[in-house]
Amino acid sequence: MKKCLKTAKINLLIVTVIAIAVGCTNRDKVYDGEYPELYTAAIHSLLGSTGYIQSERSFPAIIKEIDEDAYARKLFIYYEGSHISTYSLMISQKSDDEYTYFYPDYNFISVEESKWQHTATLGPPEDDFTTEEIEELKRNNDWNKPINIDRCIKAKIVREKEMGQIEYKELEKLYYETLGENAGPHPRHRIHFLVTDNYGRSVYLLEGNSEAATVIVFQPDGSYEEHGIMELKELQNYQDELKEFKELNGWNEQFISK
């Protein structure tokens, strides 16, 4: 009886330790900071974003507010450590209790990880971006002008990034097919959902080795067009390329099933 009791206690201890470890791992991927609206804008804007910092363990993404204009727009730094969206300067238009609002395609500028030398305190953006780049970002986002809600897209405020609607088996197959010899190990950690349009199209990034990457636009029925797969040549400055690619695939247009 005593032996059974001892075994039960040991088993309970093991289960408890595992539960705590799993809980901590999950929590590390949840943004628990004071800017969930800015976090949401970032994970719906930056290709390859995961919403957390990945090293030997996971840490929540780092967000630092830099400035606010006369209409309460926010200029902020977003950092999560992946080489796709390492260190970005971004602008969010507005937010309410449920949604965050931002301009699509041109609400950020980014630099690659090799250029990023700050600690977790995050230095001033002028250390990594020129004055001209910062001013252009502000112009593209109507800094100090009245909010133009018609230009905005909105996203429901969250604290953890969703995985998207396409089944992993389909994504894994496309990962190896499109990246070929540049495919890396552990594709589950290299497949990144970005955003959906108003009709259910979705964008995914498939990240390979040696900065190889593929972007796919899926149609609302889960299919993709012949021109729905694009090799991403530039991992930081792709705003024009991504905008044109989405438009080519009918982004935010009425979907007609074939």
CA distance linking residue 133 with residue 154, whole number of Å: 25
85 confidence band (pLDDT: 50, 70, 90)? low
pLDDT averaged over every residue in the chain:
85
- The three-class DSSP label of residue 93 is coil
pTM of the model: 0.85
Q: Are 205 and 232 in contact (CB under 8 A)?
A: yes
CA-based R_g, the chain, Å = 20
Q: How many CA atoms lie within 13 A of 248 on its CB side?
A: 17
The predicted structure's pLDDT at residue 70: 98
Give pLDDT tens digits for 104-121. Answer: 999 999 987 645 554 455
Residue 87 has pLDDT above 80, yes or no: yes
The ranges assigned to domains in the chain are 36-156, 168-248
Nearest CA among 177, 236, 239, 243 for reference residue 208: 177
pLDDT average, residue stretch 194-198: 95
The pLDDT value recorded for residue 14 is 40
Span 147-158, average pLDDT: 96
Closest alpha carbon to 78 in 102, 103, 99, 53:
53
Spatial distance between the Cα atoms of 63 and 42, rounded to a whole number of angstroms: 10
Q: How many CB atoms lie within 10 A of CB 136?
A: 14
The tokens of 7 are what?
Answer: 């075994």
The arithmetic mean of pLDDT across residues 166-192, rounded, is: 93
- As a whole number, mean pLDDT of residues 86-105 equals 95
Residue 40 CA from chain centroid, whole number = 8
Would you place residue 200 in the very low, low, confident or very high pLDDT band (cuts 50, 70, 90)? very high
